[in-house]
């Protein structure tokens, strides 16, 4: 007995729904592969069971590889990385003494927060505009802008 086109469609939808229950982001590619086999069978019926399983395996592997190699890399963001802060301008909300701690506020959240503790080599008064020169752990090294 060869599966019909709608068997593959049901399998694809079931795998897609299972992905919603088990968020592994892996089953979806097998579900899309099954949907592809269903569409191929709908357009060209009479494919053997071995050819159907081979097509499903290849389609699932290709979709998974495309996700990990192409689409996932393109969707990476730099949000939360230290180098996104370099060069950003902020305003001191607490004065900084040489090698002492102060606080700087940014107009838009930077690495997940608007206010960051900072250090400076020179004395800077509250309200001055500063530029981020370096990131040292949880501290930003700032200079007068």
Do 43 and 100 sit in the same domain of this protein?
Answer: no
User: What's the number of domains the chain is made of?
Assistant: 2
Domain end call among 22, 42, 74: 74
Alpha helices in 1-145 (DSSP H): 5-21, 27-43, 49-66, 72-74
Mark whether 94 and 135 lie in a shared domain. Answer: yes
Beta bridge partners of 143: 131
Predicted local distance difference test score (pLDDT) of residue 72: 64
Choose between 74 and 21: higher pLDDT.
21
pLDDT more than 70, % of the chain: 91
- Determine contact, residues 2/49, Cβ cutoff 8 Å: yes
Work out whether the CA dihedral 128, 103, 124, 83 comes out positive or negative.
Answer: negative
pLDDT of 78 = 46
- Statement to judge: residues 60 and 18 lie in one domain: yes
Domain extent, residue 27, equals: 5-74
Is residue 102 domain-shared with residue 137, that is, in the same domain? yes
Which residues is 90 bridged to in the sheet? Answer: 130
Dump pLDDT digits (tens) for 58-117: 999 999 998 888 776 654 444 456 677 788 999 999 999 987 899 999 988 877 788 999
Cβ neighbors of 137 (< 8 A, separation 6 or more) are none
Are 37 and 53 members of one domain?
Answer: yes
Regarding whether 118 and 87 lie in a shared domain, the answer is yes
SS3 category, 57: helix
Residue (of 121, 118, 125) closest to 88 by Cα position: 118
The pTM of this model reads 0.52
Q: Which of 43-47, 54-58, 95-99 has the highest mean pLDDT?
A: 54-58
The two three-digit tokens of residue 47, written as one number: 């494919």
What CATH number is given to the structural domain containing 135? Answer: 2.40.50.140
């Amino acid at each position: 007995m060869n599966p019909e086109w709608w068997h593959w469609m049901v399998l694809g939808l079931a795998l897609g729904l299972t992905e919603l229950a088990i968020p592994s982001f892996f089953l979806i590619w097998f579900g899309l592969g099954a949907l592809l086999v269903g569409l191929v069978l709908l357009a060209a019926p009479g494919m053997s069971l071995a050819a159907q399983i081979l097509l499903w395996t290849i389609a699932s592997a290709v979709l998974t590889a495309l996700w990990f190699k192409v689409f996932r890399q393109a969707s990476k963001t730099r949000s939360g990385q230290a180098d996104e802060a370099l060069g950003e301008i902020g305003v001191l909300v607490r004065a900084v003494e040489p090698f002492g701690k102060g606080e700087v506020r940014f107009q838009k959240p930077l690495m997940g927060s608007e206010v960051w503790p900072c250090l400076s080599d020179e004395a800077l008064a509250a309200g001055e505009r500063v530029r981020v020169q370096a990131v040292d752990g949880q501290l930003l090294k700032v200079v007068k802008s």
